[in-house]
Amino acid sequence: MSTGLATAPTRDEDRDLIDRVIGDQAGRPGALLGILERLQEQNRHKYLPMETLAYVAARTGVPQSQVYGVATFYALFNLDPQGTHTVAICRGTACHTRGSRALLERVKLQLGLQEVAEGADKLTLTTPDRRFTIRTVACFGQCALAPVVEVDHAIRGHVKEQALIREVEKLRKEAAR
């Protein structure tokens, strides 16, 4: 049965990079997680193309379904191209009760993003120019700091709407240069 995954990345340099990363992680506990994390970091758009997942499966001997399952289970992995800057907003109970929905709506408005239904609280939107990706996460595990937002991989706690607007605007101005 076909999984819809291609058999190999299209460029030789992509295959070489994947082979090097697999070689570096070989034999380590949690090697698959490490491989996928490094490959995503190395990708210009910070995501894992389906061709990459298929090639990793072929080279490691891990079934494609398992590689895909890991890539879709962990929130840190992306299967679609991401923006240069990321804003992740926690939608867990503590953050929700302390205003994370308003933060999400305000950033979407600021960046001119329209919501695309993905599920109750799972959302990933990228601006057409790929400068920003806004996404929601179920929980950062930082409930005492609610509402929590991650901006370019830095966790921010007790986030106020105006502070988040200023931070995103600063990144917009930097990206425009």
Assess if residue 1 is contained within a domain.
no
Integer Rg of the chain from CA: 18
Query: φ, ψ for residue 42 (rounded to 5)?
Result: -80, -20
Q: Are residues 43 and 92 in the same domain?
A: no
Packing angle of the helix pair 31-42, 50-60 (nearest 10 deg): 140
Is 110 in contact with 165 (CB distance < 8 Å)?
Answer: yes
11 membership: H or E segment, kind and range: none
Note the pLDDT of residue 96: 95
**Cα–Cα distance for residue pair 84/5, rounded to 1 Å:** 26
Residues 57, 117: one domain?
no
Residue 125 has what pLDDT?
Answer: 92
Give the model's pLDDT for residue 131.
93
Q: Find out whether 165 and 106 touch, Cβ atoms under 8 Å.
A: yes
Q: Tell me the pLDDT of the chain (177 aa) as tens digits.
A: 333 444 456 677 788 999 999 999 988 888 999 999 999 999 988 899 999 999 999 999 999 999 999 998 887 889 999 999 999 999 999 999 999 999 999 999 999 997 654 544 578 899 999 999 999 998 888 999 999 999 998 999 999 999 999 999 999 988 777
- How many structural domains does the chain have? 2
- The pair of structure tokens assigned to 14 is 């992509």
Strand (E) or helix (H) holding 136:
strand 132-137
Residue 173, H or E segment: helix 161-176
Specify whether 103 is located in the same domain as 137.
Answer: yes
In a domain, 37, yes or no: yes
124-126 and 149-151 strand pairing: unpaired
The CATH number given to whatever domain includes residue 155 is: 3.40.30.10
Domain boundaries, position 168? 85-176
pLDDT value at position 27?
A: 84
Please give the pLDDT value at position 2.
35
What is the pLDDT, as a whole number, of residue 10? Answer: 60
pLDDT of residue 68: 96
- Per the DSSP assignment, residues forming a β-bridge with 124 are 135
